[in-house]
Chains A and B, each alone.
Chain A
């Protein structure tokens, strides 16, 4: 989230699209009800189903799953056509006036440089013109036909209300009503917040769905302001922490990246990371990259990371592919190339697409280790559970080791919420039986591996034998020790160069924030964005002061919000070019003539002059991007692409199937079904009664939503002779499931391209372990393809067929 949960109370308009906050985030949703009850805020829900969020909305508009980009570009088109643009904001704070490089072009659904065999683009033309002075070419008047504004205007022009209705199945009057309400927030004193979640990410063009809304929010001037923002509601407790800490194959903490094999030396690595400003006087914050990187290396390897060995740069793995994401990992497992798997705290057998492939892949492993507080289906993938897990254990040789671990209520530490708040919690219960803390288990694995390397030697042992392990009890690093390491500390005393008696940083002290980190090895910091969370003032994550000066919703003394306890990112954009709040009633920070100050920690250097330094300091331009240059694999602007399995052809690019830049493994393309064979558009989702696959193990949760079901419209039920509460079979090209049918008015057939499209809704919480009735999950049916940029699987849009069946024999 750019903003925080509590800030949602400040909004005028909530748009829930690509998510279902009431259903999946009921506690955070309270801030929506607050905004509605206290300031008359309105709520719009756009979703294929009339959801629990829709049940409390002022306006619900249906949309066919997988068509969000068409809808969003349609709204942008409406705003441009009707001059509903926050012009001052757009001109000063965005890339609208920059000129796009000659050669860049978009035609028939493809950008220039496409290579069909590689399913990839040559992105060299996807850039901005840079003048001889090294700065971007700018046309402040927005007259140049190749400036970003005009390129964008032309790009969205085909998404007329008629086209949107044709693609999305949204009735035109509902779409126009949504446009009108959203467009009204282009006023300086009106804001909209976007709340989205996996309804946008779980598509083969998930990143571009989010881009679409981000562009719209920029156009309306709704980024960086109270009650505005792009608010990603994270789907799993502490999944925000997972990404912050860099638990992805291509990341290290604080969103720094693992080198690729093309970056064999530290100098090559740094040459593409210390971004030079592209506009005069800009900050380009990532010029600090080296300080964060070196401090991270020092936290990892302490005295073994030296200036001479480039801070142990060679210890880091070098990626030979963009990422070893989960789809690639299971593909490799399926090919027999990955032989062992440590599965810590998740349930791939039920979570990853194409369950048949999951079972086959896990069956090829030599060993599988699970670390989980619950008995997951993955841990029992080899066990026969009748039709719910129809495997032959005698044919599976995988050795499975289950390590029982603690659940959140049994350990101490910080969870990071969607709003970037690190909230410390304490253990409420003792772990049962043999359950151990994950950190204890990891310590054991590390210490034993280290001992083996020390005793027996081995190739490239140093990264393991030299790993800094300073914990009081090496077997059991404490949560506080780990948190302090993440915050960072001073290795060597630093004095003021002008006055050597003055100590700037004192050896052994916790660093106060990332501003003092150094690239000379004198500081260590496990995660620069967490710097300040546990400094000499103590454990700031454990702060529980819920006072809120002037009721701004910032709650600055509650816990710690990364970075630097900042509650709203890009908050400098809440003020105009002269540093005065766009809306005085929503003041966040203002320029007082010499510095920035206000309710929040300024997201800009305190002395940066408002008419010089742009608010989007993470970009070397200092402004926000309508045009992403070559940073996304599937295009600098979003384009409507149909899901890989779609009931209709792409109306704007009939020849293109799916996202042309999405990766598809050999053999998986053949596993995609088409609408002739599988006529119904299916989608998957969560229910509020359950949390993923955990709560089916909890008896009261099992009571309130006991049994797997699918949802269909009354019309489809009639066509297929299905009775509500009766049994159905649903199948795709990849698998088949049985379920109870919930026949509902909340799903209606949508008219797309002139024909009715039936939607089949499939919730995900059941399996063959736990207290609830045994059932299936949508992953028996879903296709093995992910987003072109980050490989999140396409769970939200696929094709199935359905029939009425008699129930299982009792």
Chain B
């Protein structure tokens, strides 16, 4: 058992996650934030029983109101991620061609919190998407313009746009809970510890033990899903068949950020550098569209000097 996080104290403590810890900010730059331990959520599909406690915990903690839908011939309910359902159990009935045995693959879908987040890269609105130094990628509702670029940028098809509100929604990895030293609500609710949360290195180590166990049970391709194409993720899976992520309701075999987003970013890189000063000094909104999201140390220092000079 991975030791569960202790319950929170009733006395208020200083927030453990704030703007001081920002690493990236969409369409804008931020000073390199105070570094934090990299965190990760590990979802072990081999321990998951598909009970959906994570789904209801997510709805309740985030105070989301999902519609009561209909049954469409599956246990997957709702039928897709929505602006209210930030996580979803996806059920796949798969017959293993090697054993002819049925396997019921159950995968908790939701934001993967990529180290190299395509949504943030694609986002044209300053500060609508932020990445913290612990790896959490969060949407900031007030800054969101609902353009949907994040959807295009995401290799996992996660963000959902509310047309009525003009806002994008996805899992926040419970950044508000992490800020007070807690793990995500889904992990807290999971009865079998199929979801655990902690430092990313610990999660990888924990996964190793699980993979060893699965291999001993004949799952020779058991492995960790931490795809390098997006720089690794802060939500990882233990899969019985890590050689075939696709069988788990279309989990991408090798996710990468859309070339369109990459090309766009690459082409404007130089212009972007010039724009930094402009943003910092003048705060022109439209510059945000071409804002870089990979900043070198020099860039940061330049930005810092500018910012300090201004203050």
Contacts and interface: CB of A to CB of B under 8 A. Distances in A.
Interface of A: 22-23, 26-27, 29-30, 33-34, 36-38, 40, 50, 52-56, 58, 60, 688-689, 699-709, 723-726, 740-746, 771-773
B70 A773 contact: yes
B49 A688 contact: yes
B74 A706 contact: no
B213 interface: yes
Contact of A707 (B70, B101, B193, B210): B70
A17 B134 CA distance: 45
B56 A701 contact: yes
Contacts of A771: 68
Interface stretch (B59-67, B145-153, B162-170, B252-260): B59-67
Contacts of B101: 60
Contacts of A688: 49-52
Contact of B49 (A26, A40, A703, A724): A26
B71 interface: yes
Residue among A701, A703, A706 with max Cβ neighbours from chain B (10 Å): A703
Interface in B197-249: 209-210, 213, 216-217
B50 A52 contact: yes
Lowest 6 CB-CB distances: which A-B pairs, in order? Answer: A724-B73, A725-B73, A55-B104, A22-B49, A707-B71, A700-B56
B64 to A, nearest CB: 9
Interface residues of B, number: 43
B49 A37 contact: no
A700 B93 contact: no
Nearest to B46: A56
Contacts of A746: 93, 102, 104
Interface in B64-100: 65-75, 77-78, 85, 93, 95
Given A55-B50, A742-B74, 6 more contacts: A26-B53, A29-B191, A36-B213, A40-B216, A704-B55, A725-B73
Interface in B38-59: 46-53, 55-56, 59
B47 A689 contact: no
A29 B70 contact: no
Nearest to A32: B192
Nearest to A55: B104
Contacts of A723: 73
30 contacts: A22-B49, A22-B192, A26-B49, A27-B191, A29-B192, A30-B192, A30-B193, A40-B216, A52-B49, A52-B50, A54-B104, A55-B103, A689-B52, A700-B55, A700-B56, A700-B59, A701-B56, A703-B55, A703-B68, A703-B69, A703-B85, A704-B52, A704-B77, A707-B71, A708-B71, A709-B71, A740-B70, A740-B71, A745-B95, A746-B104
Interface of B: 1, 46-53, 55-56, 59-60, 65-75, 77-78, 85, 93, 95, 101-104, 106, 191-194, 209-210, 213, 216-217
B191 A703 contact: no
A262 to B, nearest CB: 49
Contact of A742 (B67, B71, B213): B71
A52 B105 CA distance: 10
Nearest to B91: A55
A750 to B, nearest CB: 14
Contacts of A707: 69-71
Contacts of B51: 22-23, 26, 52, 688-689
Nearest to B53: A26
Contacts of B103: 55
A56 B51 CA distance: 12
Contacts of B72: 724-725, 740
B115 to A, nearest CB: 28
